[in-house]
Amino acid sequence: MVTLAALRQPRRARRLAVALWIAWAIIVWNVVFDHVIVVAGREFIVAAGRAVQAGGPYAHMDDWMRPAVARAFWTATAASSALLVLLGVILCPLRRTR
């Protein structure tokens, strides 16, 4: 078990900080991905409802969700990459001050 005194050592504290930032980046990726998918799903439901009311051809889910998956992947990757770049910017000067 890691004690509080052990975490006060700079090397261990730095490792813990890096692990927490990486975990945060993974969580952000998942949240952003899910949000984009949910928004696309809601837009599809609205479009499908309008198609039914208009009596026209029904909306195909693949036409809405396949582009949404790609958009969600790239948006989530950009968001989590920004966090990891920020991590590098923050830790780079700290690495020199050992």
Q: For 10-34, what is each residue's pLDDT tens digit?
A: 778 788 888 888 999 999 999 999 9
Residue 82 forms part of a structural domain: yes
SS3 labels along the chain: CCCHHHHCCHHHHHHHHHHHHHHHHHHHHHHHHHHHHHHHHHHHHHHHHHHHHHCCCCCCHHHHHHHHHHHHHHHHHHHHHHHHHHHHHHHHHHHHCC
Full-model pTM: 0.80
Residue 88 forms part of a structural domain: yes
Residue among 51, 43, 45, 50 at smallest CA distance from 68: 43
Residue 73 forms part of a structural domain: yes
pLDDT tens track for 65-96: 999 999 999 999 999 999 889 888 877 776 65
Distance, CA of 69 to CA of 37 (rounded, Å): 7
Instruction: Give how many domains the chain has, as a whole number.
Output: 1
Residue 67 forms part of a structural domain: yes
Residue among 43, 42, 30 at smallest CA distance from 72: 30
